Amino acid sequence: MPIEFHTAVSNEPEEQQVVFSAEELTVQPPSEGPQGDAARATADGLENVRGYTRPEGTPEQLWQPPTAALPDIGEASFGPPPVAAETVHGPDDRVQITDTSVYPWRVHCSLLITAADNSRWIGTGWFIGPHTLATAGHVVYIKNSGVAGRDGWVKSINVMPGRNGNTLPYGVVTSTSFRTVNGWANNGDENYDYGAIILPNNLGNTTGWFGFGVWSDADLLKTVGNISGYPGDKPAGTQWYDARGVASVGPRKVYYDIDTAGGQSGSSVYHFYNGGRYGIAIHAYGGAVTNSGTRITTPVYNNYVAWKA
């Protein structure tokens, strides 16, 4: 069960919202969009993806996206691999999603990011409401790049829901409105590495969105984490899925041995709750043994509720 808290927006300086261009807390519910065509979960909390088996022992426009490989947005703040690498551990278990125009796959968005210096990068985001996407803080705000004119808010992000290579079932929407918190923008602290993209329309009413909520350590440690996104080591703009049990949790991080690669920064780490899909973390980092995401805690939850309003 999700933890319930009384209404409170954290007044910690690190959690204060930073804006470019917070009733009693339970969970924010998902929406499948008007068609309601979601595939159901398997008995152990995985997506029912053809060809995917969890490894043994582990719980509107004519614009065309670029086909040439672009670097992961994580490299802008953290440097090239191995520093910024999001990691495939052992055999690569990821499976490509080919029918990306249906829920839940259309909730995941390929991002083409233009930084302040006009350099271009890739990342991933996911709908949490009609016009709001959750993503990593370093997707919308670059820190410590060492390149003149690059740090700070990105200039624009092209959002492509359910992209499948050059096929854009819901077109592309350009956003110039972003959100993050002081802990990331001022300090570059990975514990606060989360943000949001605000669209100029309500495309999420068509694609649907995921819910999100706050769960206890004990609940997270017995859940299966699912990630689908747009890794840069696969053909450009293709969506890939993987899942594992949560390995460990910290006060502000969730750790898991789910295979990812650069380009998946900002992906949803989600689980099934009462038949719906709910984000528990925002994927952001790789590691030698586990990858990790920014945990949805009470103040993170409150900020996302405010950003989707």
Catalytic residues: 138, 265
How would you write 258-293 as a 3-class SS string?
Answer: CCCCCCCCCCEEEEEECCEEEEEEEEEECCCCCEEE
Helix (H, G, I), strand (E, B) or coil at 302: helix
Chain centroid to CA 82 = 21
Kind plus residue range of the DSSP H or E element containing 196 = strand 195-198
Cβ within 8 Å of residue 191, ≥6 positions away: 183, 251, 252, 253, 294
Cα 264 off chain centre by: 7
d(CA 298, CA 110): 27
Distance CA 139, CA 228 (A): 17
- Upstream peptide bond of 161 is cis (omega within 30 degrees of 0): no
Kindly provide the residue ranges of all beta strands, DSSP E only, lying in 13-168, ordered along the sequence. Answer: 17-19, 27-28, 95-97, 108-114, 120-127, 132-135, 141-142, 152-153, 156-161
Please state, in angstroms and rounded to a whole number, the distance separating the CA atoms of residues 274 and 279.
13
